[in-house]
């Protein structure tokens, strides 16, 4: 398998963490797609992923799977022992719900803030920017942090009683928050404590250094 990504990207981090959790690092070749040069918007890459986003998983038969949730679903099912996407119908439903909320209320909101409320990837990549919308989404992300703080006051993990894809999505959001210098509010003590615990997981500690991307670009 190949994973097309950018080694410090918050969205690629989600798949890299999932790969580490599933002990699949040795099964994957990473191909670097330089976000700062806009390589993810080049026609050659768009042929792999119409949306022009990272990461993308390429299977040995040439199939391309985009979107972090879909990639994680595939990886989690490979060994027939899903650990990240839930085992029971209830677990699956709760994990997917919370992962989607983490995208909408935190990770994607910070992404919009990055692309519209800051310089983003620079003038050669950011063709259109709406700063007002960017700052609105920044505020939404802060509200999202408070929401997940409330969740984590009631349970040990974002999706329930075990580490899951939902936790990985929030971790991705907080990686992005750090990149744009958007700190978790001091009063979000449960979220802060959970994040400290997550930093102790080897999959989270090693996500940046996992299998350095190959020199090829697309």
Residue-wise pLDDT for 188-214, tens only, equals 999 999 999 999 999 999 875 553 443
Peptide bond into 55 cis (omega under 30): yes
pLDDT, the chain, mean = 93
Are 157 and 99 within 8 A, CB to CB? no
Are 203 and 17 within 8 A, CB to CB? yes
Residue 215 binned pLDDT confidence (cut-offs 50, 70, 90): very low
Are 135 and 142 within 8 A, CB to CB? no
What is the reported pLDDT for 152? 98
Tell me the pTM.
0.92
Q: What is the mean pLDDT of residues 136-160?
A: 98
Domains and CATH numbers, the chain: 2-83 (3.40.30.10), 89-202 (1.20.1050.10)
What is the reported pLDDT for 210? 52
What is the reported pLDDT for 206? 82
Distance CA 115, CA 133 (A): 10
Are 32 and 216 within 8 A, CB to CB? yes
Cα of first residue to Cα of last residue in the chain, in angstroms, is: 16
Are 182 and 113 within 8 A, CB to CB? yes
Of the chain, the percentage scoring pLDDT greater than 70 comes to: 95
Question: In a 3-state reduction of DSSP, which class is residue 190?
Answer: helix
Q: What is the mean pLDDT of residues 7-26?
A: 94
Distance CA 18, CA 64 (A): 18
What is the reported pLDDT for 208? 58
Residue 217 binned pLDDT confidence (cut-offs 50, 70, 90): very low
What is the reported pLDDT for 4? 97
What per-residue string of b and e applies to 77-98 under the rule 16 or more CB within 10 Å gives b? eeeeebebbbeeeebbebbbeb
- Which range among 10-19, 51-60, 202-211 shows the weakest confidence by mean pLDDT? 202-211
Residue 124 binned pLDDT confidence (cut-offs 50, 70, 90): confident
């Amino acid at each position: 398998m190949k994973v097309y990504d950018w080694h410090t990207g918050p969205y690629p981090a989600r798949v890299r963490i999932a790969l580490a959790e599933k002990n699949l690092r040795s099964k994957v070749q990473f191909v670097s797609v330089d976000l700062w040069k806009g390589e993810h918007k080049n026609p050659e890459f768009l042929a792999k992923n119409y949306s022009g986003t990272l990461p993308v998983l390429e299977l040995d038969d040439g199939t391309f799977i985009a979107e972090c949730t879909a990639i994680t679903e595939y990886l989690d099912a490979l060994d027939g022992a899903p650990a990240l996407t839930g085992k029971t119908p209830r677990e699956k439903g709760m994990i997917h719900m919370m992962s989607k909320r983490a995208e909408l209320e935190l990770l994607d909101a910070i992404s919009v803030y990055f692309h519209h409320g800051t310089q983003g990837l620079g003038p050669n990549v950011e063709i259109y920017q709406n700063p007002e919308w960017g700052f609105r989404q920044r505020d939404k992300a802060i509200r999202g942090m408070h929401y997940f703080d409330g969740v984590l006051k009631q349970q040990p993990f974002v999706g329930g009683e075990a580490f899951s894809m939902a936790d990985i999505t929030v971790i991705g959001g907080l990686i992005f928050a750090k990149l744009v210098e958007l700190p978790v509010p001091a009063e979000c003590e449960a979220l802060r404590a959970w994040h400290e615990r997550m930093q102790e997981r080897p999959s989270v500690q090693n996500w940046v250094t996992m299998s350095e991307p190959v020199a090829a670009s697309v």
